Amino acid sequence: MINDGSKILLMTSFIILSACSGSGGTASNPSPSAESATVAGVDADHDGVRDDVNRYIAATYPNSAKSRSALMQYAKSVQTSFVNVSTARHAATLEPQLLRAGACVTATMGSATAITEIDARMANSPARVKARSNYEGYLEGKVFTIPSGDLATLCDVNPASLLN
């Protein structure tokens, strides 16, 4: 868990780093090359989702906070799988979280097709494809159960609390 002190440190860092400027974009408006330069990409608001994916979700689902919330939950889990998993044990721990997020998307949106679009946007560079392949390699031969339950169980943010 992030304590209050760490939150203050993080916000301070974000505010100061946002003052950077240079050619090819700014910290608050990075160039496309900057956004795909690393596997992690740019996450200026530190919400755990890459800014380019964040923009795609916002632009594609402008009228559904529920859909955006579910897809953000899924994208965040995928991002973790790319940048924060280096062992089979980590992958086995994260995969149920990914499935839960996917189940949240399916239950909220009535379909799993949006997951395919998020997957494609998350792995949109050779390095990210490699990161995903590394993660998926840990899953081979293993069995995971898809969670079932109501939206409050599956989703980090209960859709009932969102307006649309």
Partner 1 sequence: MQSFIRGMQKIAVLLTVIFSITSTPTISFASVTTCATANYSVIYINGIWTTDAKSAALELQRAIGTTYNGQAVKVSIAYNKTHGKTSDLAEVFQQKLSEYPGVAAELLIKGLTSGIGFGLPDPLIDFIHSYNMGKIRDADSVGYSDEDLRDIVGFIRGSITENQKILLVPHSQGNLYANSAYAALTSGSDAIPAGSIKIVGIASPAAYVGGDGDYVSSTNDLVINGLRASSLSVLPANLAVSITTDDLSGHGMTEVYLNPTREGRAEIIKRIKNALSSLLEPGGQGGQGPITVTLTWGAQPDVDLHVFEPDGTHVYYQNKQGTVGMLDLDVTDSHGPEHYFTSCGLLQPGAYKIGVNYFYGNSAEVATITITTPLGSVTRNVLLNTVLGTTGNSSPIMVSTIVVTRNVNGSYDFQVI
1 contact partners, CB below 8 Å, separation of at least 6: none
Tokens of 69: 């919330």
Q: How many CB atoms lie within 10 A of CB 20?
A: 10
Please state the closest distance from residue 64 (CB atom) to partner 1, in A: 18
What is the C-alpha separation between 136 and 125, in angstroms, rounded? 16
What is the C-alpha separation between 106 and 125, in angstroms, rounded? 26
* DSSP state, residue 147: P
Q: Which part of the chain contacts partner 1 (CB under 8 A), choosing from 37-45, 58-66, 112-120? A: 112-120
What is the C-alpha separation between 123 and 140, in angstroms, rounded? 19
Binding flag, residue 87, partner 1 (CB under 8 A): no
Binding flag, residue 6, partner 1 (CB under 8 A): yes
Binding flag, residue 9, partner 1 (CB under 8 A): yes
- Tell which positions 27-86 bind partner 1, by CB under 8 A: 48, 80, 84-85
Where on the chain is the footprint of partner 1 (CB under 8 A)?
A: 1-2, 6, 9-10, 12-13, 16-17, 19-20, 48, 80, 84-85, 89-90, 92-100, 102-103, 105-106, 110-113, 115-117, 119-121, 123-127, 129-130, 132-133, 136, 139-149, 153
